[in-house]
Amino acid sequence: MIDIFARVKALRVVHGHLDGAELIRAFAAEFPGSLGVISSFGAEAAVLLDQVAQVDPSLPVIFIDTDELFDETHAYRESLSRRLGLTGLRIVRPTDEELREADGLWRSDIDACCTLRKVRPFDRVRLGFEVIVDGRKRAHGRNRAEIHTIEAGEDGIIKLSPLAKWDQRRIDAAFEERGLPRHPLVAEGYLSIGCWPCTRPVAPGGEVRSGRWAGSAKSECGIHRLLYPDATI
């Protein structure tokens, strides 16, 4: 515990001023063969994946196929991976037993459903990495409002969020400047995209993630678990 605590603190001193591709590049060099990216291929995923591809398109990109995703997400994953030249895609799925247990569970217990369809499959692969890169941003508010680009995750894994400080204008500018394709459902008002039973379009002016688990207190699926509150570092 103390080791990861001190390690993150030291990494922040050296790399805390970086973000985007520069931050990914620095960590890919410092943790060769041990850095993985997690992506839902959702509404803003192209921006992070483009930054990853600029560093090294063969970096492992983990995609969790919950078996409840929109068909459009699968099609977008294929076309965006091709467009960016990503060659390290790893599609991770729940086991047959987990799928049986999770059948229809989103109607009665969304936490248990996320555990079976997302958290457990991700847990089976994440321990193979020292660093996991994700696309979380402060601009998405709620419990993401104060995230740092470098954080301590469970089991001593370092969580890297290269876009943590990017606001909506910078994200939109990246789509424009880099000619990145949008997820097809963005045009229908879906601003954050997960499983179809738990994702709704966002009303004009609404929070980006307000369409996820709408009507419940849940705002995260559970895969982004930190070891301890950021303020203690």
| Cα distance between residue 218 and residue 194, in whole Å | 13
| Cα distance between residue 196 and residue 71, in whole Å | 9
3-state secondary structure 52-103: HHHHCCCCCEEEECCCCECHHHHHHHHHHHHHHCCCCEEEECCCHHHHHHHC
For residues 197-216, which are near ligand SF4 according to CB under 6 A? 197-198
Active site residue 114: no
CB of 23 to ligand SF4, least distance (A): 28
CB of 102 to ligand SF4, least distance (A): 7
194 touching ligand SF4, by CB under 6 A: yes
- Between residues 96 and 177, which has the closer beta carbon with respect to ligand SF4? 96
User: What does the DSSP 8-state code read for residue 231?
Assistant: G
- DSSP labels for 133-166? E----GGG-GGGTT--SEEEBGGGPEEE-TTTT-
CB of 12 to ligand SF4, least distance (A): 32
Exactly one of 23, 202, 221, 223 binds ligand SF4 (CB under 6 A); that residue is: 221
Exactly one of 43, 47, 118, 202 binds ligand SF4 (CB under 6 A); that residue is: 118
16 touching ligand SF4, by CB under 6 A: no
141 touching ligand SF4, by CB under 6 A: no
44 touching ligand SF4, by CB under 6 A: no
> 135-159 burial by CB neighbour count: b if 16+ within 10 A, else e?
bbbbbbeeebeebbbbbbbeeebbb
CB 85 within 8 A of CB 57: yes
The residue type at 206:
G
Exactly one of 66, 81, 192, 210 binds ligand SF4 (CB under 6 A); that residue is: 66
User: What does the DSSP 8-state code read for residue 212?
Assistant: B
Give the range of 8-16, 21-29, 81-89, 108-116 binding ligand SF4 by CB under 6 A.
Answer: 108-116
Give the range of 71-79, 137-145, 146-154, 192-200 binding ligand SF4 by CB under 6 A.
Answer: 192-200
Catalytic residues: 221
Chain residues binding ligand SF4 by CB under 6 A are 66, 68, 106, 110, 113-114, 117-118, 194-195, 197-198, 221
